[in-house]
Every structure is written in C-alpha cells, then in structure tokens.
Structure 1
Amino acid sequence: MTDGVEDSEEIAALEKALVDETMDPVDIPFSLLKSITGNFSEAQEIGRGGFGVVYKGVLPSGRTVAVKQLFERYEILDKTFDSEIDCLAGLKHKNTVRFLGYSSETQYLRRLCDGKLQWVAKRQRLLCFEYLPKGCLAGYLSDASCGLHWSTRYQIIKGICEGIHYLHQHRIIHRDLKPQNVLLDDNMIPKIADFGLSRHLSESQSRDITENKFGTMGYMAPEFFNKGEITFKTDVYSLGAIIMDILMGQKECSDVKEVVESWTDKFGTSKSHTSLEEVKLCAEIGIKCRNYDPRNRPATWSIIHGILDEAEISNWSVTSDVATSTEGQVQSLK
C-alpha cells in the first residue's frame, strides 16, 4: 500500500469514529494528528493544562476534532496517558466528552548532546476527542443579574450531575472537576472532560490514597487536600462548588436564602414559582455537596433523584436512560 492510500484509510477511520457514536476509539498515526493541527500550530491551540496542550484539528472534510498532546515528562507521561485511556475507554454518555482515538509513538531524532550528534527518543502520546464549539463552562459563569438564563443554567447543572453519576456507576473518580473541565456543545449541553487525574477503582475498592495532590484550590475536597484521600465523595465536593458557581458566579456562598433572593430580583415581576423552587433546590444541593465531612455529602444517585423529582412540576421530563442508571445505582447499594 502506498502512503497516500494508508492516509486516506486512516482519515476515513477517524471520520467514521466522529460520526458513529457506537464505535470504539481508534489508533491514529501521529503523522495524521500532526497534519490536521498544522504541526501543532499555536494558531490552533484551544486550551492548555498541567499535563498537555489541546489543539483544534481540521479534517479534509471540514469536520473538527480536539487533539490533546501530553507533555513529555517522563515521570507522568505514560502514567497519565494510560490513566486517561483506562477511564475513557467504553465511556458513552451524553454528558461526557466523546473519546475518538489515541496515538502512541516513539520517534528517534538526531540531537546535539554534549557536542555530539546522538539519537534521542521522543515519545508522542496524544488523545483525540470531539470538538465542543462553545468552549468551557468557566467562560459563562456570572451572578444572577446577567449571563445565562435560568433554564440554561438548570440544564447545565442537571447534565453535570448525570455525567458524574454515570462515571461513578463505572467506578471512575474524576478528581479534577471544575468549570474549565466542563465543555459545552452547540445546544449548551455540558460534557465532562479531562480525565488525566482520574482513578478507576476496582469493585472491591471504595477509596484510594495518593501523595500527588494535583488539583485546583476551591474545588479540592478537604480530605483530599489534607490527607490525599480519594472517594466518590471527592467528586461530590467539587460538584457542589461548580453548582454554586453556576448559581452565583462564585463558589463561596453558603446561604440558600441569599441565592433565592438574588434570583427573585432577577426574575422580577415575571418570576416563576417553579423556577424559584428549582433555584432553591439547586442551592441546597450545592451547599450539602460542599460539607466538610464527606459522610454528610449526598451520593450522586440521590442528587439526581431529588432534582428530577422536583422538576416534575416543570416542563422537564425524566429520560429513560437517567431512570435506568438511577435504578442501577440503587440496586448496587443494596
């Protein structure tokens, strides 16, 4: 086979993974990802974090993907890559970012070392995801007086809750939940992203301990920050901080009355009793999630159950997949 034929087959496989949500992630050549990102051009950079840079990739068809190139730090490169692959493989939910494929190659380049030309190994570890055009949630946070309408904020809160619940059902602890790691699609549907710090627990595990306390202040649970302890309630604390961000534009508020009054002023004479009840419910959940003691934080299945039950008085409907996942979680707790 010629390189051109191989390239066309590889592009076709990535195109198919992009449009067919039932497909498993595909192995993508480094050369293809390098090509569609303009040789990882700064002009196509769309994000940067502690473990890598994310670029916009443009396929020949005009469709777009997101390409995450991990930094080449020997102590974290393979561990981070393997962790993300382990957590992302098999995840298929409307509130988690779609994982399309990966690239793992080692190149040998001639480099001048100690005055001599030597062959040096350069490892390339990349991940490919669906491209979310609206960017991250962090760019849309504001207090009640401006920004997103309540219905959109409520949709985002519910979607994040459902996404985290799905991860926990699959025994995945995200560990780095924050507005920067929640992406939004064209319809403002939230999708949880960036699984570089995630942990995949075995069926016999309920907790883990780490000495590497990577995370973002304000979203890190106190037991993780103080002792390196990781449980599903670690994510719940972060969820609470995100909910308060969405409600008030900042996470420090701990007064339900203050939140409701803020939104009462926003709704004004057109205020809806149903909407205010939703605001109150979300504020109560956000504050409970941020309880210092993880034992007093709610589980994700109870959060979803509470939100969706209250929402029956509004126009929201309980989708069959959420109902099924909630039932499965209840069964698993028996």
Structure 2
Amino acid sequence: PRHQYFSHKPPPSPFVRTRYSTTASAPHAPSPRKRGMAPKRPLDATLPEEEAALWLSRMKRSRRFRLKRTVLVVMWLMCGPSGTARKRRERKRPWRWISQVVCPWMSMLDVSSEPPFVPLDYLREITDDFSEERKLGSGSFGEVYLGVDQDGQKIAVKRIYQMAGVDDGQFQNEFTNLARLKHRNIVRLVGYCNHIQEVPAMYEGKFVLAEKIHRALCLEYMSNGSLQKYISDECNKYDWRTGYGIIKGICQGLKCLHIELKPPIYHLDLKPANVLLDENMVPRLADFGISRLFGDERTRATKSILGTQGYLPPEYIHNNLISSKFDIFSLGVVIIKIMSGRAGYSKITDMSPQEFTNLVQEKWTNRLHETSSLMKAYSKQVKTCIQIGLMCVNDDRHKRPSIQDIVNRLNETETECTYAARKDGSLIYQIPEDDSITFMGASLTGQQNGHFSFSTTDAPGTSYPVAG
C-alpha cells in the first residue's frame, strides 16, 4: 500500500534481525541465507515437528560444512606456500632444535640413534669459521676441520666441496652409507649439516637471489690422524703388534662392508690416507664419497672416475670393471706398504714373490725380541701377512682371495701365537682391556696403559706392566 512508503515510521531494514513466527507474517521476510547454511532459529515461537526436524538437519549440515572448511584451511596453512616459507625460515634458523645438537657427538654414546642435524653457525663457531689452523686434511670431495666445543670435546667436520653436478649426489651417498655403518673399524657419523643460504648474485646484468648450499659431515675425531703419516721405508714408527693390529682392523672393517651389510658396500678408494687411527692405534675406514651399493650383481662396468692412482686394479684400468675384488687389490697395496714402507710396493717387480717375502720377513724378525717359540710364531705371522698382500695384488681378479678367507687366515696366526706364548710360560699375548685369560690356576685381566692384573686364589689382583 502507498501509505507504507509515506508513513512516519520507516520500514525495517533487511539487514536488521527481526522477530517472526509461524502464526503471523512479518512485514518483511527475513534475508535469504547462503547455500549450505541453516536458517535462523525463531526467537519467540515454537516450530511444528516437521519444520523443527528440517531445521535440525540443516543445522547439522551447516556444522559439517564449517568443520570441513576449517580442516581445509588448516591443511593449506601447513602444506601451502606459507608452510614452505616457514620451513625455509627454520632451515635458516634451526635453533629450535638446539637442545638436540648442543653436543651432537653425544650420539656416539647411543649407537642406535640417528645422526642429528647440526646448524651451520654452530659448526663455524667450533671450527673458528673453518680456519686454516683447524684444517686436518682433505678427502675426495671435501676438506676436514677440527671442531672443539667449550668443554674441549672434539669432532672432525668434513666440509663438502662446492662442485656443480656432484655436490648433491656425493653428499647424499656418503651420508647414507655412513649413517648405516656402525662398526668398530669404520669411522662413525655423529651429525650432519645441510644449510641453504640465499645470497645476491649477478645474472644477465641484474642482481638476483641465488641459493648457496653448505653441506658438512660431523665424524668421530681420530687423534692419531691417518695411516699415511706412519708409513715409512724404515717401518720404525710402530712395532709388529701395532702393525698387525692395523692390518687386522682394516680387514675386519672391509669384511663388514662386503659381507655383513645387505646389500654390500664397496669402498673403491681404500688407501692409507683413508684409514684413520684413534688414540689406541685402532684403524677405522673413512671417506665413503665414491663408494657404491651392490645388489645381486657381482661385477659392474662404470664410466665414472674412481679411486686413486696406484691402488687401482688392472681390470678397472683397462675395462672399467668394479667388484669386491677392487677393494681386495687396494687392500693388498696397503698391507704391502705397512710391512715394507712406501717404496716397498715398487720392489715387487724387481724380485720374485719368494725373494720379496723372505726380505720382509727377515726385516721384521730382526726387530722382534721374544722368546724362541713366540719369536717363531710371530715370524710366521709376518710371512702370512706378506703372502696375503701379494695374493691380493694378483693381476687376475679371480685368483685374489675373498675378505672372509683373509680374516680366517689371520685368525689362524693369532691362535698359533697364543699357543706359543702359553708354551713359553709367558701367557702374555694381546689381552684386550677388561678381558681375562685363566691358565694353571692363575688369571690375567687386561687393563689400560698396557698393564694386566695377575691374581690367584692365594693373592689378590695386582697390576703389572706387560713384558715386551
């Protein structure tokens, strides 16, 4: 009616909530609701049963709609662009995990734990920003620095080279292999760093933000360095027991790679520089940057450059073939250099294998100061080791022994030396720490600093230095 538009009372706005009922119609209908949303509940009237049931079903659908919408928004925030940006910020500022990496090498105490992530800033702090004074050496794909924390604990930090096309694969390969290796004669991985930094760079005449990748591996620190510095032509930097222990430790580490792991790992760069020695001169294999995982196939051809000149077998030099016998050949070169010095390997071509064996055996026998039976056993052990080294460098890879055969022969020599020591009545032959040998009512228990504890039923345990 016309009078409604000229009344002194203006009509109610459609945006104002009005009371309505089912018995009387309001001057204006309520504003339409959006699709999927339930109608507003009446404030001053009771709905019939049918309309009440309809209203209730719509309200339930509306709640489900709002719940689905909330879940989608949360998922988008976590996985969408904002989530990616947040992850990038965490990589740049990973200090929220600092409680896990205050002492990253504490994971050494728990062999089953995974290597933790270590911030780049923390590595720079403990290595004096990778200064030359802290540099320990360099490997196939990185430089090694000494890291020292405030408490004086030490680790070795291997900083991977910035090499286009090689960086990603080599880092991932060495990290994966080291993370799954837990053996007494293999260097242990205690942490890693994978930091992406955005830096300005010139590209086509314009400044752009480029990603600079910093990668590092945190390894056990070996206080005696590499085997390379102990090898000399005089072989006077270690006695025979120490030299034999190094040979046996290298073989045990290689046995872990070739036999105990499934699938096996081939080191492919075994040399004295990649054998590290701890404070007790126990060897540990290191630098797995070019190692390879092998499945069922035993031989494979490759076009990539592997190993170090002088430690490469003939089948790789001529046909690029790699197999487990690749490492066996390198092992033979290392054994010969341990026993005859750096120039000893070159003497093989100047004399027969028998002459070379007799020369090395006589050289080491003259340095032994043992009783008659033990002297004979040690001399035989020297001969066995040099024979193993010569068999390993055979040009025909099929004639080289397996690592299991090598370890078995070394174990046989240890049994003979132990028997000879008992025969002479000394009973002193490489008693490991905390281990004991009982013989004729007496007990010998290995201790630190080259001492052993001697005890009988009449006298308590007393510490004595080991003879020899």
With normalisation by structure 2, the TM-score equals 0.64
Per-residue Cα deviation, 1:265-322 (whole angstroms, up to 9, x for no partner)? 333797811211111000000000000111000000010000011210223589xxxx
User: SS state of the match for residue 196, structure 2?
Assistant: strand
| Kept in 1: contact 2:227–2:275 (CA 8 A) | yes
Alignment of structure 1 residues 227-242 onto 2, 5 Å: 227-242=319-334
Q: Comparing both chains, which one has the higher relative contact order based on Cα–Cα distances under 8 Å and sequence gaps of 6 or more?
A: 1
Q: Residue 279 of structure 2 corresponds to which residue in structure 1?
A: 186
Q: Residue 205 of structure 1 corresponds to which residue in structure 2?
A: 297
In the alignment, does 2:359 pair up with 1:258? yes
Question: Which AA in structure 1 matches 2:367?
Answer: K
CA distance, structure 1, for counterparts of residue 137 and residue 290 of structure 2: 17
In the TM superposition, residue 147 of structure 1 has moved relative to its aligned partner by 2.0
Q: Residue 315 of structure 2 corresponds to which residue in structure 1?
A: 223
| Kept in 2: contact 1:57–1:67 (CA 8 A) | yes
CA distance, structure 1, for counterparts of residue 299 and residue 159 of structure 2: 30
Q: Residue 139 of structure 2 corresponds to which residue in structure 1?
A: 49
Alignment of structure 1 residues 277-288 onto 2, 5 Å: 277-288=380-391
Partner residue of 1:62 out of 139, 144, 152 = 152
In the alignment, does 2:104 pair up with 1:104? no
Change (3 A) 1:189 1:145: closer
Higher mean C-alpha displacement, 213-222 vs 293-302: 213-222
Q: For the pair shown, which has the larger CA radius of gyration, 1 or 2?
A: 2
Question: Which AA in structure 1 matches 2:403?
Answer: T
| Kept in 2: contact 1:213–1:224 (CA 8 A) | no
In the alignment, does 2:187 pair up with 1:93? no
RMSD after superposition:
2.3
CA distance, structure 2, for counterparts of residue 159 and residue 23 of structure 1: 24
Runs of at least 5 residues in structure 2 that lack an aligned partner in the other structure: 1-89, 349-355, 418-428, 433-468
Q: Percent identity?
A: 35
User: SS state of the match for residue 208, structure 2?
Assistant: strand
Q: Residue 84 of structure 1 corresponds to which residue in structure 2?
A: 174
User: SS state of the match for residue 100, structure 1?
Assistant: strand
User: SS state of the match for residue 266, structure 1?
Assistant: coil
CA distance, structure 2, for counterparts of residue 34 and residue 147 of structure 1: 35
Change (3 A) 1:4 1:209: closer
Kindly tell me the number of residue pairs found equivalent between the two proteins: 317
In the TM superposition, residue 23 of structure 1 has moved relative to its aligned partner by 2.2
| Kept in 1: contact 2:105–2:155 (CA 8 A) | no
| Kept in 2: contact 1:256–1:280 (CA 8 A) | yes
Alignment of structure 1 residues 1-334 onto 2, 5 Å: 6=96, 8-12=98-102, 14-113=104-203, 116-143=206-233, 146-169=236-259, 170=261, 171-202=264-295, 204-250=296-342, 251-254=345-348, 255-267=356-368, 272-314=375-417, 315=429
User: SS state of the match for residue 346, structure 2?
Assistant: coil
| Kept in 2: contact 1:144–1:266 (CA 8 A) | no
Question: Which AA in structure 2 matches 1:259?
Answer: V
User: SS state of the match for residue 225, structure 1?
Assistant: helix
In the TM superposition, residue 253 of structure 1 has moved relative to its aligned partner by 4.0
Runs of at least 5 residues in structure 1 that lack an aligned partner in the other structure: 319-334
Per-residue Cα deviation, 1:176-234 (whole angstroms, up to 9, x for no partner)? 000000000000000000000100112x2212222122321111111122222110110
In the TM superposition, residue 146 of structure 1 has moved relative to its aligned partner by 2.1
In the TM superposition, residue 132 of structure 1 has moved relative to its aligned partner by 0.4
- Off by >6 Å, runs of 4+ in structure 1: 268-271
CA distance, structure 2, for counterparts of residue 106 and residue 150 of structure 1: 49
Question: Which AA in structure 1 matches 2:218?
Answer: C
